[in-house]
């Protein structure tokens, strides 16, 4: 297990020195943030990130994310240029020593929550998803105020409506086909540069506004891994994204895909499943619906040797900043992951 921590680059108020001081910390998880989605990252930007990271005593081995342009997901003719750009990013990152690239294939909306500062019983705040709040916001409805926290704010209302309409004309099978087309082009490049591609599950792992979502459960992950049956075509196992559906047995999935050698990156966080959605909680098993010890043990016992990062944390001790990505609670999460790993290793 290689412990890692997401860092948003120069603009992140959490410094590399902060991250370096978390016990057991090995690598940052970062990205080039000054390039529009779909374009090629400059070698200079990649080299600068690498130098900064390594100068701070941390490895530069995990990228989250290289985002996938909507035209690729929609299967438009313009995807060719974006796929070639994507391949070039894999080559450049591989040459810079990157071992793992996280990405997702969610139409338009990426991760979705309805509130970013829900106050929990202990006074900390966290991200939550309540279905009745989602149901009130229909992006095709002109009366809707069209805002949920995780959405891409670069879309105007009309642009958002247009892209949602394009997806509404697509079936889940169309999205699968577009994903397969993409993988067949990128995985050979990833293999040549020995970069592990690690798709992140849809968050939450169900359809939003009737748009297709396919990276959601065990059956679909099985199907995904067979689209291109190469170890470089693997997973980011996000315990919170999969675990917000009670239908997903995250412990079983962790064991199964680790044994197959297809989990390259793990996002560890706990969530509490509620009748109308879920709340993000502290990492501790007792604080949510997931058995974090059992997940860790399943990974360990099945030979997992990839990267793990604490995922979203609560805001605690008066910290303010990027929701889910404060220092304090994620550092507690990292310490907990260290403890779980040491315990299963010595058991
Ligand atoms: Mn995640």
Query: Which two structure tokens, joined as six digits, stand for 145?
Result: 């105020």
- Give the Å distance between the CA of 118 and the centre of ligand 1: 19
Can you give the pLDDT at residue 162? 84
CA distances from residue 43 to 35, 38, 95, 242, 312 in whole angstroms, order as listed: 12, 16, 10, 35, 30
Whether residue 146 is predicted with pLDDT greater than 60 in this model: the reply is no
Q: Which residues pair with 347 in a beta bridge?
A: none
C-alpha 128 to ligand 1 mean position (Å): 14
Given pLDDT bands bounded at 50, 70 and 90, which one contains residue 263? Answer: very high
What is the Å distance from ligand 1's center to 92 Cα?
24
Which residues have a beta carbon within 5 Å of ligand 1, which is an ion?
A: 238, 267, 311
Q: Is the pLDDT of residue 258 over 80?
A: yes
What is the structure's pLDDT at 149? 65
Amino acid 132: pLDDT: 87
Q: What is the largest CA-CA distance in the chain?
A: 58
Half-sphere exposure of 130 (CA within 13 A, CB side): 9
21 in Cβ contact with 68 (< 8 Å): no
Q: What percent of the chain has pLDDT over 90?
A: 82
Mean of the pLDDT values across residues 59-76? 96
Q: Could you read off the pLDDT of 325-344 as tens digits, one per residue?
A: 999 999 999 999 999 999 99
Q: How far apart are CA 246 and CA 328, in angstroms?
A: 29
- Give the least confident one: 64-68, 148-152, 270-274, 320-324: 148-152
Cα 241 to ligand 1 centre (Å)? 6
Number of domains within the chain: 1
Residue 208: pLDDT band with limits 50, 70, 90: confident
pLDDT tens per residue, range 215-241: 999 999 999 999 999 999 999 999 999
Ligand 1 centroid to 85 CA: how many Å? 25
Q: How far apart are the CA of 78 and the centre of ligand 1, in A?
A: 29
Q: What's CA 102's distance to the chain center, in Å?
A: 7
- The answer to which of 39-43, 99-103, 154-158, 202-206 has the lowest mean pLDDT is 154-158
Query: Residue 286 pLDDT more than 90?
Result: yes
Ligand 1 centroid from CA 201, angstroms: 8
Q: State the pLDDT at residue 148.
A: 67
Residues with active-site annotation: 200, 238, 267, 311-312, 325
pLDDT at residue 166 in the model:
87
Element housing 310 (H / E):
strand 307-310
Query: Distance between CA atoms of 98 and 82, rounded to whole angstroms?
Result: 20
Ligand 1 mean position, distance from CA 57 (Å): 25
CB 100 within 8 A of CB 90: no
Of 46-55, 202-211, 223-232, 248-257, least confident by mean pLDDT is 202-211
DSSP secondary structure of 137-192 = --TT-TTS----TTS-TTS-HHHHHHHHHHHHT--HHHHHHHHHHHHHHHHHHHHH
Which domain, by its residues, includes 206?
2-346
- Mean per-residue pLDDT, 163-179: 91
* Helix, strand, or coil (residue 228): coil
Query: Looking at residue 208, what DSSP letter applies?
Result: B
- Whether the per-residue pLDDT at 155 is higher than 90: the answer is no
CATH number reported for the structural domain that contains residue 277 in this entry: 3.20.20.150
Q: What is the pLDDT of residue 140?
A: 64
What is the end-to-end Cα distance of the chain in Å, rounded?
Answer: 16
Section 298-310 average pLDDT: 98
Spacing, Cα 202 to ligand 1 middle (Å) = 9
141, pLDDT greater than 70 = no
Q: What is the pLDDT of residue 157?
A: 76
Ligand 1 center to residue 142 CA distance, Å? Answer: 31
Residue 139, pLDDT above cutoff 80: no
């Amino acid at each position: 297990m290689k412990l890692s921590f997401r860092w948003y680059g120069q603009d992140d108020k959490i410094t590399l020195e902060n991250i370096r001081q978390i016990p057991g910390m090995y690598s940052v998880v970062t990205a080039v943030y000054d390039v529009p989605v779909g374009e090629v990252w400059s070698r200079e930007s990649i080299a600068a990130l690498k130098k900064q990271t390594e100068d701070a005593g941390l490895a530069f081995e995990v990228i989250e994310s290289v985002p996938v342009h909507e035209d690729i997901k929609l299967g438009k003719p313009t995807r060719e240029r974006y796929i070639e750009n994507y391949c070039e990013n894999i080559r450049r990152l591989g040459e810079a020593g990157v071992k793992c690239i996280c990405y997702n294939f969610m139409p338009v909306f990426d991760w979705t929550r309805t509130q970013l500062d829900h106050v929990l019983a202990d006074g900390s705040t966290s991200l939550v998803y309540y279905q009745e709040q989602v149901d009130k916001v229909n992006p095709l409805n002109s009366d809707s105020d069209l805002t949920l926290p995780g959405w891409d704010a670069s879309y105007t209302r009309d642009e958002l409506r247009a892209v949602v309409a394009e997806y509404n004309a697509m079936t889940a099978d169309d999205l699968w086909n577009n994903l397969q087309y993409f993988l067949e082009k990128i995985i050979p490049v990833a293999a040549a540069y020995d970069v592990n591609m690690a798709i992140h599950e849809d968050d939450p792992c169900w359809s939003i506004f009737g748009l297709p979502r396919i990276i959601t459960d065990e059956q679909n992950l099985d199907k995904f891994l067979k689209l291109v049956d190469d170890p470089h075509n693997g997973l980011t196992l996000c315990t919170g994204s999969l675990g917000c559906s009670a239908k997903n047995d995250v412990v079983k999935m962790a064991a199964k895909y680790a044994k197959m050698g297809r989990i390259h990156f793990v996002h560890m966080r706990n969530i509490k499943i509620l009748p109308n959605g879920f709340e993000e909680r502290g990492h501790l098993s007792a604080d949510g619906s997931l058995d974090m010890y059992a997940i860790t043990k399943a990974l360990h016992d099945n030979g997992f040797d990839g990267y793990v990062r604490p995922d979203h944390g609560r805001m605690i001790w008066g910290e303010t900043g990027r929701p889910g990505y404060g220092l304090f609670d994620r550092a507690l999460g990292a310490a907990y992951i260290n403890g779980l790993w040491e315990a299963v290793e010595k058991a």
